[in-house]
Structure 1
Amino acid sequence: MSKVHLLGGQGLIGDGLRFALVGAGNTAFTLLVFQLLLFWLSPLISYYLSWAIGLAVLLVAFPRYVFKGSSATVWRAASTVAIYLASLMIGGVLLSELTAFGINPRFGILIAIGFTTLFNFAASRLVYRLIRPNPV
């Protein structure tokens, strides 16, 4: 199976690979923003601001690049925001607990990203592929 076929398909593998590629770029960008904001702001404020920037990127990228063949709808955008708000809370609580436990927030953010990435993919794929495939 060719690389182009894997990245072009609408199945789990194609969606997963595109999610990983777009997500890696977005994560690297927002992680850089987070690290820079830590020079001036608390870990949680830095996390929330960098998260908001990343969400704006994903609202454009998901229908266009990640879940190809799906349409951008108000329902999907609202669902994506809800998923990422839940992820934000999960990541924020995890980062707070890790920091309170003595883990440096510059490392703790990587643990939070790992947990929230799995949640985000599963929930987003439900929205873009499995629930209401052609929402109005």
Structure 2
Amino acid sequence: MSTDRIGPDALRFLAAGGLNTALTSAVYFAGLTVLSSGVSYTIAWLAGLAFVMAFYPDRVFPGGRTGFADRLAVGGSVVAVFVAGLATLHLLERALQSRTAAFFATLAITTTLNFLVSRWILRRHAPP
């Protein structure tokens, strides 16, 4: 995996993350007008997952792998990091005795993990 693209990849990843957050927030709040918060959150989260699988291979990590299996692998990794993030959040809430600190620490950890794993999946053996 080439390290010469880390900076641009990271910037595109953060920009796409902001766009994804805006999209999922809009879906969530629109859903709240007619759905429960749990159903609305689930639909928003699934929309965000679809966004990652569709958008990241071509736009965030251009020139990398873009096949269907690669997109599924990125989606699966996001799900795995989400589950790991839930566990991390609960552990840090107990350790730090602060929900706010635990949230921001978990956010930093999961964002970093999502970037590294997605980048590895989409950049492995990619053409230069």
Give the TM-score of the pair, scaled to structure 1: 0.66
What residue ranges of structure 2 are gaps of 5+ in the alignment? none
Q: Give the equivalent residue in structure 2 for 1:68.
A: 62
Deviations 1:65-91 (A, max 9, x none): 101122420221121022111112022
* Deviation for aligned residue 1:124: 0.7
* Deviation for aligned residue 1:47: 5.2
Q: Which has the higher contact order (CA 8 A, sep 6+)?
A: 2
* Structure 1 pair 122–132 and aligned structure 2 pair: CA distance change class (3 A): same
1:103 aligns with 2:107: no
* Structure 1 pair 109–84 and aligned structure 2 pair: CA distance change class (3 A): same
Q: Give the equivalent residue in structure 1 for 2:109.
A: 115
**What are the within-5 Å matches in structure 2 for residues 17-36 of structure 1?**
17-31=11-25, 33=27
CA–CA distance in 2 between the matches of 1:133 and 1:57? Answer: 22
User: What is the Cα-based RMSD across aligned positions, in Å?
Assistant: 3.3
* Deviation for aligned residue 1:59: 1.1
* Deviation for aligned residue 1:102: 7.1
**What are the within-5 Å matches in structure 2 for residues 3-22 of structure 1?**
11-22=5-16
> Aligned to 1:132, which of 114, 117, 125?
125
Q: Secondary structure at the match of 1:132?
A: coil
1:34–1:46 contact (8 Å) kept in structure 2: yes
2:13–2:60 contact (8 Å) kept in structure 1: yes
Give the TM-score of the pair, scaled to structure 2: 0.69
1:41 aligns with 2:34: no
The number of residue pairs the alignment matches comes to: 118
* Deviation for aligned residue 1:95: 4.6
CA–CA distance in 1 between the matches of 2:41 and 2:70? Answer: 24
The amino acid of 1:41's aligned partner reads S
* Structure 1 pair 51–113 and aligned structure 2 pair: CA distance change class (3 A): farther
2:89–2:102 contact (8 Å) kept in structure 1: yes
CA–CA distance in 1 between the matches of 2:103 and 2:63? Answer: 32
CA–CA distance in 1 between the matches of 2:28 and 2:72? Answer: 25
